[in-house]
Amino acid sequence: MSVEGFVAPGFERVQEAFEAGLAEELGAGFAAVRDGEVVVDLWGGWADRAQSKPWARDTIAPVYSTTKGVSALVLAMLADRGLIDYEAPLASLWPAFGAQGKDRVTIAQTLAHQAGVPGFIAPIDPDLWLDPPACAQAIAALAPMWPPGSASGYHPLTWGYIVGEIARRASGRSLGSILREDICGPLGIDFQIGTPESEHARCAEMRKPSRGGEFGEITPPRKAAFFTPWAAPVRGSARWRSIEIPSANGHATALAVARLYEAYASEGEIAGTRLLSHEGFAALTQRRWKGDDLVLPYNIDWRTGVIGNSNGIYGPNAEAFGHSGMGGSVGFGDPVARVSAGYVMNKQSHHIMGDPRAGRLIEVLYACL
């Protein structure tokens, strides 16, 4: 499988590693930005399962939960503009969310997965996920599975409907519209939350993993989040791509992921354009919870919607911030090395976090710095 793209002088080893790793892929892309300059932008393999359509420069792939770090950036911009207050109860903005004892959980705690509503234990029609206003209403009515604010438990899908409602109520616009109009459009970044049908032809087809991830004991929070027949919608349909799920259905090139996570490497800037004040960046990256997660089988360093690098999966520096997506996608930014990177692919693996394919590329990237 041929590899196309660009590496800056000194980063040739990244291309060698990408070429070697492509043997394990269907199709993939990897990109990195350092000090505002693109130093790696590579792609190769196949965009479809039949292996008839080569992965192209403009092929976009669903990045699943890597979307969360981008959505967190959008909400940080709203907070920086004074439209939301991280420390205020979410119910002060969205009264219905205060139902069943959730009236005191703050917006910051909610973004750090502490609200106690990781999914639906009682059966729902899976198509509810494809109706964001109705789904948000149903999530608001849920009883929390633990006292809100007392623990973290990853909200794989519900998080996105909650933050979408926060953005809409605070700004009058959808989160995907803010991303498009205020960031991606002006800066020429190919990342979409709510992908129009005109762009669907360039979406990569996903190949599901051969087995699931290792979660350990299936506790009630884990069951609600992942292990019911209604835990997620059917993915890949035109409707699924077109609606906005700010937790899970961003579509992007690897370069677009690297560019957006550049905001985490450059303390709120992308390509020299300041999106956040220094205070706004500090609030976005402030630790909100660190401990064993009730859903993910890890100790997680939750910031305000993004993950601190205490587990070392986003490079060697603990000061980095990132997020991983189902099947292997990754985005991260490191303010120490001033580097960000994005990895996208369409052959999904069973690794929940820390996919070794991306890990090898990140390791070689740092060796080249």
**CA–CA distance, 177 with 165 (Å, rounded to integer):** 13
Domains of the chain: 3-368 (3.40.710.10)
Per-residue pLDDT reduced to its tens digit, 21-78: 999 899 999 999 999 999 999 999 999 999 999 999 999 999 999 999 999 999 999 9
Position 263 scores a pLDDT of 98
φ, ψ at 114 (rounded to 5°): -110, 5
Q: What is the reported pLDDT for 303?
A: 98
**What are the structure tokens assigned to 17, written together?**
């590693």
Contact yes or no for 221/359 (Cβ under 8 A): no
Q: Which residues in 96-126 are b (16+ Cβ under 10 Å) and which e?
A: ebbeeebeebbbbbbbbbbbbbbbbeeebee
Length of the chain: 369
pLDDT at 2: 85
* Nearest one of 336, 316, 320 to 285, comparing CA atoms: 320
Question: Against a cut of 0.95, is the pTM above it?
Answer: yes
Specify whether the CB–CB gap between 44 and 186 falls below 8 A: no
Q: What pLDDT score does 99 carry?
A: 98
Q: Encode pLDDT of 294-344 as tens digits.
A: 999 999 999 999 999 999 999 999 999 999 999 999 999 999 999 999 999
Per-residue pLDDT at 300: 98
Which residues of the chain are under the pLDDT cut of 50? none
Active-site positions read 65
Q: Are 177 and 185 in contact (CB under 8 A)?
A: no
pLDDT at 211: 87
